[in-house]
Amino acid sequence: MRFSISLVATALCAGLYAVGSYITAYIPSPWGFGQFRPAVVIPSFFAIVFGPMPSGLGSAIGTLIVDSVKHGYLYEGSLFAAVPGNFLGFYLFGHILRKRFTWSRFILASNLTLTLSNLMVATLYVFVFKVLYLGQLSELSLDALAFLVIGLTVWWFVTMLPFVLLVTPPLIRAAVSAFPTLVPEDVRAHSLQRELPRKTLGLAMLVPGTIMLLIGLATSFTALGMYLLDFFGALTKDLVQIMFYVSGSTLSMLGSIILVSKSSPET
């Protein structure tokens, strides 16, 4: 019975993740590749409710489906980078929270796994797919390629984190209310009886937001801006600056609002 539920959960996760990701599949990063993907809330939800394997496999299959549909063929870039990165990230996320779920652990696991999985996808996509497999980006130095990897990682992280932290908890509470027998006992207890720790949640967005703003200032007032201009051109430089300022301001504002807002005592 448990295997059947896991199989169905994997299929549902893959299908919903593919559909949700396709909605924003044509919103790229400042570098022209790497898409905006708030649909990461779907495998995050499945990781907490159904465990690491349905989420890991479902996200890997779902990202391969959406990337292949978008490009019109089985997309090698997804096979090389997005599939292993999604599987590792959401499997690790589910494993960290399995039988040890708390909202504080959820917040910390979200930050950790989004960082590691996005860094893995960016590294594999740039160095394995683009450079080794396609033979592209040969005009860029190793430093520029490394900056590209970091830039993609930052883009995915700052555009995914608010959705995971703010949208996933209501989905969990809705699942607990509608299907309590499907949800693990520790998740039921924490989702219905305890509020998210305001300080941890606020700092989880305020700290990376502040870092993004500092990097944005560095691109405007230090040699980093000239570095971007030389290697990526004026348009990409401007888009990268906008990315750092907008994402940094958004995360910092959300974190500050959460920290000063009135809510239930932290648990």
**51 touches 3 (CB < 8 A):** no
When mean pLDDT is compared across 128-132, 185-189, 248-252, 263-267, the lowest value belongs to: 263-267
- Is the model's pLDDT at 1 over the cut of 90? no
| Structure confidence at residue 192 (pLDDT) | 62
Q: Any idea what DSSP says for residue 35?
A: B
- Tell me the CATH architecture of domain 2-194: Orthogonal Bundle (1.10)
Q: Among residues 155, 120, 134, 144, which one has the least CA distance to residue 240? A: 155
Q: Quick: pLDDT tens for 231-266.
A: 777 877 888 888 889 888 988 999 899 888 765 434
Q: How large is the average pLDDT for residues 89-95?
A: 96
Q: Where are the domains of the chain?
A: 2-194, 196-267
pLDDT over 70 for what percent of the chain? Answer: 96
Tell me the Ramachandran region of residue 3: left when phi exceeds 0, alpha when psi lies from -120 to 50, beta otherwise: alpha
Between residues 228 and 55, the one the model is more confident about: 55
Task: Record the tokens describing residue 159, joined without a space.
Answer: 């555009």
pLDDT for position 262? 60
pLDDT in tens, 192-239: 666 778 888 888 889 888 988 988 888 888 877 787 777 777 877 888
**The pLDDT of residue 62 is above 60:** yes
| CA 10 to chain CA mean position, Å | 19
More confident residue, 3 or 116: 116
Q: Is the CB of residue 241 less than 8 Å from the CB of residue 219?
A: yes
Residue 230's alpha-carbon distances to 50, 62, 82, 124, 154, in angstroms, are 48, 37, 29, 24, 21
pTM exceeds 0.85, yes or no: yes
φ/ψ of 35, rounded to 5, equals: -95, 160
Where does the pLDDT of residue 151 fall: very low under 50, low under 70, confident under 90, or very high at 90 and above? confident
